[in-house]
Amino acid sequence: MTKLLDSINYPDSLKSLKIEELPRLAAEVRSLIIETVSRTGGHLAASLGAVEIAIALHYAFDAPGDFIIWDVGHQAYAHKILTGRKELFKNLRQSGGLSGFPNREESPYDAFTVGHGSTSVSTALGLVAARELSKKTNKVIAVIGDGSLAGGMALEALNHAGHLGKDIIVILNDNEMSISPSVGAMSRYLNRVVTSPIYNRIRKDVETLMRRIPKLGFRVVRAARRLEESLKNLLVPGIIFEELGFRYFGPIDGHDIGLLIKTFRNIKTLNIPILLHLVTKKGKGYEFAEKFPNKFHGATPFFIETGELKSSSSDVSFTKAFSDSLCDIARGNSRVVAITAAMPEGTGLDKFQAEFPGRAFNVGMAEQHAVGFAAGLARDGFIPVIAIYSTFLQRAYDQIVHDVCLQNLHVIFAIDRSGIVGEDGPTHHGLFDIAYLSHIPNLAVMAPKDLEELSRMLRFAIAHNGPIALRYPRGTGVDIPSGNADIELGKPELLREGDDVVIVGLGSMVHSCMEVAEHLEKENIEAAVINARFVRPHDMELIRKLAKTCKVLVCVEEGVVEGGFGSYLLKELEENDIRFEKIKLIGLPDIFIEHGKRDILLDKYGLSKDKILKTIKKLIQKG
């Protein structure tokens, strides 16, 4: 049998299909997603759950004229396949291939380049305001998950949208609830009635007529509305959205394509704020993803037949080392508590949560609240450890400054996924944390060179008095022999002596710096290697000592150079009157770096061992 998907390249060709053919198309799209992600890795479960939504949206609306904004973008694979990227999909998340998230540079059908949660309603409402100012008539649809909807930005946007009262459609993709048969049947019936154009026209006409009744008109309308609201309280679980100014419809089955299309066609005729509540199943159509949605949220390559991962490294990751160390510390210190913003598995706090359920707090997709919440715990004597990815912590910058550092509170920021993270790309690379943290008063910032040092730094952070951040990369580490095992505030560590050049490595770059020094030795260049340990404060005495014999200083970091550790080091050199004939800062450019394998990106941007070596040799040879 010929595949329907073979003839579908853009939404226009999709609309040539009959509605009864679309479930078959959904199955083919799912098959392509599963087959591709099994090879490339990716966000499988969420995208499988949103296949029918993507098909129905493009069938009922007219993108890209109508804007469809996908919150986070975890669920947008079907959208990509249907909008001219079917043939490119085989290279999903690969270097030079298709992004794993919506990306404006890829397609006009992607309204925004996204990868963070809770943003879609705000950006959609901005598009609505622009449409009104331009006197256009296009539709704007925001697709947001139940997790993202709880984020502060999304709630602020809903409040504003209801206040404006303009034509916006918010689709709530809820994959946490299930529809029982009775509730589902009633909801489907109510949805068919209240989204009908005839119903809404009659409703408006009746209100107009009743208002014309002398004296009693207003009271009748008010009584009718009270009755309607009472019924909604009893039958429809969306009264909170109604109170915010939205017309709420649902919940309905998000996998029933026919119902979705009918509903979309009905609500697009209503020029008011609308929230449509859909219920879907995460991992729909692939039994292992349905059974283990967390495992297949961000999946590595796997065997389709068994659901087993194709490769599982026995090496311990930084995340696991952090998790094990934190649990070990917490067993002996009841004041230690842990906080995550909707990512207990990703940050390694699931183990802590299982062992200390009363001391673990998952605040949802709300990084600002997580930091403010931690400030409250610290203010009353507890030691909160917040584990958040670098790229997500930047969402809480004001709370770090205002609620924690201004108060000089003992809050520990465990910053996972610092530096280049690989295939997730620019929305997830942790390139800016050094720059946005290193200038904040009272805040100490550390970076371990290996797993063992991470454990010791975490213990140091627990014993420290004041705000402190610990940044570490994704993946596994290589143990590096220590010159000084003790962690002291601001003190760097001399790993290797040398009289020609000083190489200061920070965190993940220390191992490469050691390898570079070994290669330089073969060419009769003696390089001293310093493990910086601390971004700030940074004791300059070791560098002052080495400056007496070395003429060249090189600083290497896996973060942006602009405002990074090297920039901070230059300021300290100047203030301490420490002189070198040549200074070179090696780091990442202040650009949004594309997706791709970490080693490929490090080499491309000058942070591989070979590129660091080449840069240092060129620097020395110039002299």
Note down the domain range covering 464: 318-471
Three-class secondary structure of residue 250 per DSSP: strand
Tally of domains in the chain: 3
Do both 391 and 426 map to the same domain? yes
- Say what the pLDDT of residue 82 is: 98
Domain boundary residue, one of 440, 471, 502: 471
34 lies in a domain? no
DSSP state of 465: S
Q: Is the pLDDT of residue 509 over 70?
A: yes
Question: Residue 186's pLDDT is what?
Answer: 34
CA distance 193 to 196: 5
Q: Are residues 514 and 450 in the same domain?
A: no
Residues 338 and 466 in one domain: yes
pTM attached to this predicted model: 0.89
My answer on whether 204 and 60 are in the same domain is yes
Q: pLDDT tens digits, residue range 319-333?
A: 999 999 999 999 999
Q: Indicate which CATH number applies to the domain containing 359.
A: 3.40.50.970
Q: Could you write out the three-class secondary structure of 504-520?
A: EECHHHHHHHHHHHHHH
pLDDT tens-digit series, residues 266-284:
999 999 999 999 999 999 9
Output the pLDDT for position 487.
95
Distance of alpha carbon 577 from alpha carbon 430, whole angstroms = 32
Final residue of a structural domain among 412, 436, 471: 471
**Domain annotation covers residue 536:** yes
Active site residue 379: no
Same domain assignment for residues 426 and 560: no
Catalytic residue among 282, 449, 533, 584, which? 282
- Within a domain: residue 16? no
Q: Would you state the structure tokens that stand for residue 411, as one six-digit string?
A: 């809050």
* Separation in Å, CA 205 to CA 201, 214, 220, 228, 548: 6, 17, 14, 16, 89
What separation in angstroms does the CA of 465 have from each of 377, 408, 411, 442, 446?
14, 9, 9, 10, 15
Q: How confident is the model at residue 193 (pLDDT cuts 50, 70, 90)?
A: very low
Least confident range from 189-198, 342-351, 450-459: namely: 189-198
Residue 210 lies in a domain: yes
CA atoms of 249 and 606, how far apart (whole Å): 53
Tell me whether residue 395 is one of the annotated catalytic residues: yes
pLDDT at 608 over 50: yes
239 or 363: which leads in pLDDT: 363
Cα separation, 222 vs 93, whole angstroms: 55
Residue 602 lies in a domain: yes
358-369 average pLDDT score: 95
Chain centroid to CA 400: how far? 18
Out of 436, 471, 506, pick the residue that ends a domain.
471
- Per the CB < 8 A criterion, the answer to whether 255 and 282 are in contact is no
**Together in a domain, 423 and 277:** no
Instruction: Tell the residue number behind the tokens 């029933």, with chain if given.
Output: 256
126 and 186 belong to one structural domain: yes
Residue 510 lies in a domain: yes
Residue 94: inside a domain: no
Q: Taking Cα atoms as reference points, which of 368, 361, 372 lies closest to residue 411? A: 372
pLDDT in tens, 198-240: 545 545 554 555 556 555 555 555 555 555 555 444 444 578 8
Give SS3 for 68: strand
- Label the pairing between strands 444-446 and 534-536: antiparallel
Nearest in space to 398 (alpha carbons), one of 369, 427, 365, 421: 369
Claim to verify: residue 513 and residue 465 sit in the same structural domain? no
Query: Tell me: the pLDDT tens digits for 396-424?
Result: 999 999 999 999 999 999 999 999 999 99
Is the domain of 158 the same as that of 242? yes
The single residue of 395, 471, 474, 584 carrying the catalytic annotation is 395
**What number of helices (H) and strands (E) belong to the chain?**
27, 17
203 is catalytic: no
Whether 95 is in a domain gets the answer: no
Give CA–CA dist 251/236, Å, rounded: 8
Look at residue 586 and tell me whether its pLDDT is greater than 60.
yes
- Selecting among 93, 131, 359, 367, the annotated active-site residue is 367
Query: Are 272 and 365 found together in one domain?
Result: no
User: Quick one: pLDDT band at residue 177, thresholds 50, 70, 90?
Assistant: very low
Q: What is the CATH number of the domain that holds 522?
A: 3.40.50.920
pLDDT at 102 over 70: yes
- Both 149 and 198 in one domain: the answer is yes
Q: Are residues 499 and 358 in the same domain?
A: no
Three-class SS state of 339: strand
pLDDT in tens, 55-84: 999 999 999 999 999 999 999 999 999 999
Cis previous bond, 64, omega within 30? yes
What does the buried/exposed string (b/e) look like for 275-295 if buried means 16 or more CB atoms within 10 Å of the residue's CB?
Answer: bbbbbbbbbbbbebbbeebeb
Average pLDDT, the chain: 90
